[in-house]
């Protein structure tokens, strides 16, 4: 499919014309769709919680008529936050929600690979600081950006229904991944994607690609890359699905932990906000994300390490697949585990232990030792 510039579609109202919708897809047990994955999950939002701590009484956590939602300022972040703002209005129309844009460290530093910046929470720390000081009441994050450990006093209070978790390839000429020419240049900021794509095709040149979605798409259009790989969820949410050349199946590119899901973070003891957000919690998504994040926490992963995991649920059966990879893709330790949704957290920990035992510990030591 030829290149379609998504930027003119940004301000378009209504559905994208059918002639712009790509037919080249790789299904993941379903047809490509922007509808949330229908999974199943257990009922306790606390399964995503970390150690709790009483919050200073100077912060008002009682009932109030106006709440402040913290968000990054990118088009995607605002799109996600405005959508969630509308959902809150549906379940609590008596409460007014205002948006407050907050610039994060990850937004400020755009010319350095995330792995070289170091640290965790590059896209959430300043927002979490605003929560802790009471400047905002809750925040909308892309769950894949949220570190495994949250600051004391903060919890993930709500996980809405998940979007498509897959990675998406967008090529300038319409070539699929396997059709890309020898030595083609692919842009991505993710070591996870880099490792898996190089394992499948060692001939490729992987080049750093940072910036917001519209910036990345513009760089592709300008000819800086033959193709780029992005999260399908963000493209769907911005109504840019027409730009997708191919959905990459998990067997080729296992998604990032929490990819496609949103995490709504708030203060642990703010029962007023918690009572509202619980009405929007998607139980199915919560369990799959719980399993993935349990693996992340045990591996102590961050953006410096190629780690991936994705959980699915069919009936009561939960299947979690995960991997740890060397940056060059020459070594990938991959495994999966199955159980029930009630075992989500335990399954994540068990799979992490398996990966470490099979050689993941060596990969992690080498990567952290050279960081």
pLDDT for residue 5 is more than 90: no
| Same domain (yes/no): 233, 118 | no
Residue span of the structural domain in which 361 resides: 292-370
Pairwise CA distance, residues 17 & 134, whole Å: 44
Average pLDDT over residues 153-172: 98
Ranked by mean pLDDT, the top range of 28-42, 119-133, 186-200 is 186-200
Q: Which residues contact 124 (CB under 8 A, 6 or more apart)?
A: 104, 139, 141, 145, 146, 147, 265
Pairwise CA distance, residues 11 & 22, whole Å: 20
Pairwise CA distance, residues 310 & 304, whole Å: 19
Please, are residues 34 and 22 in contact by the beta-carbon 8 Å criterion? Answer: no
pLDDT digits (tens, 9 = 90+) for 99-131: 999 998 776 565 555 555 455 577 799 999 999
pLDDT digits (tens, 9 = 90+) for 240-253: 999 999 999 999 99
| Same domain (yes/no): 54, 158 | yes
Give the CATH number, domain containing residue 232.
3.40.190.10
- Confidence tier at 39 by pLDDT (50, 70, 90): very low
Helix (H) or strand (E) holding 370: helix 361-370
> Could you give the residue numbers annotated as active site?
145
- Confidence tier at 367 by pLDDT (50, 70, 90): confident
| Same domain (yes/no): 58, 147 | yes
Helix, strand, coil abundance in the chain, percent, nearest 5: 35, 20, 45
List, edge to edge, every strand of the sheet that includes 307-314: 307-314, 317-325, 332-340
Q: Number of structural domains, the chain?
A: 3
| Same domain (yes/no): 157, 266 | yes
| Same domain (yes/no): 123, 15 | no
**Which residue in 73, 35, 89, 80 sits closest to 277, CA to CA?**
89
| Same domain (yes/no): 55, 173 | no
| Same domain (yes/no): 152, 264 | yes
């Amino acid at each position: 499919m030829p290149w379609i510039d998504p930027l003119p579609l940004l301000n378009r109202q209504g559905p994208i014309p059918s002639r712009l919708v790509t037919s080249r897809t790789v299904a993941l047990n379903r047809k490509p769709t922007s509808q949330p994955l229908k999974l199943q999950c257990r009922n306790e939002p606390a399964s995503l919680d970390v150690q709790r701590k009483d919050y200073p009484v100077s912060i008002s956590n009682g009932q109030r008529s106006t709440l402040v939602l913290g968000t990054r300022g990118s088009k995607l972040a605002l799109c996600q936050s405005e959508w969630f703002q509308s959902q809150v209005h549906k379940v609590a129309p008596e409460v007014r929600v205002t948006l407050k844009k907050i610039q994060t460290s990850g937004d400020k530093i755009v010319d350095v690979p995330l792995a070289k910046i170091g640290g965790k929470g590059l896209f959430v720390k300043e927002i979490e600081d605003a929560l802790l000081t009471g400047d905002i009441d809750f925040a909308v994050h892309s769950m894949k950006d949220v570190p495994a450990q949250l600051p004391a006093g903060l919890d993930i209070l709500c996980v809405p229904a998940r979007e498509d978790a897959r990675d998406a390839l967008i090529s300038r000429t319409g070539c699929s991944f396997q059709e890309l020419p020898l030595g083609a240049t692919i842009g991505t900021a993710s070591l996870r994607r880099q490792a898996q794509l190089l394992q499948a095709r060692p001939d490729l040149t992987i080049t750093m690609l940072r910036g917001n979605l519209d910036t990345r798409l513009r760089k592709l259009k300008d000819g800086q890359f033959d193709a780029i790989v992005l999260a399908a969820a963000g493209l769907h949410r911005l109504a840019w699905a027409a730009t997708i050349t191919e959905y990459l199946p998990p067997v080729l590119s296992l998604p990032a932990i929490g990819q496609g899901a949103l995490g709504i973070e708030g203060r642990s003891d703010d029962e007023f906000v918690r009572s509202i957000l619980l009405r929007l919690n998607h139980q199915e998504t919560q369990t799959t994300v719980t399993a993935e994040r349990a693996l992340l926490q045990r591996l102590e992963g961050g953006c410096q390490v190629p780690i991936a995991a994705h959980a699915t649920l069919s009936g009561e059966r939960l299947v979690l697949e995960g991997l740890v990879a060397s940056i060059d893709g020459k070594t990938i330790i991959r495994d999966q585990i199955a159980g029930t949704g009630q075992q989500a957290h335990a399954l994540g920990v068990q799979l992490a232990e398996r990966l470490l035992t099979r050689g993941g510990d060596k990969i992690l030591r080498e990567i952290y030792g050279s960081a």
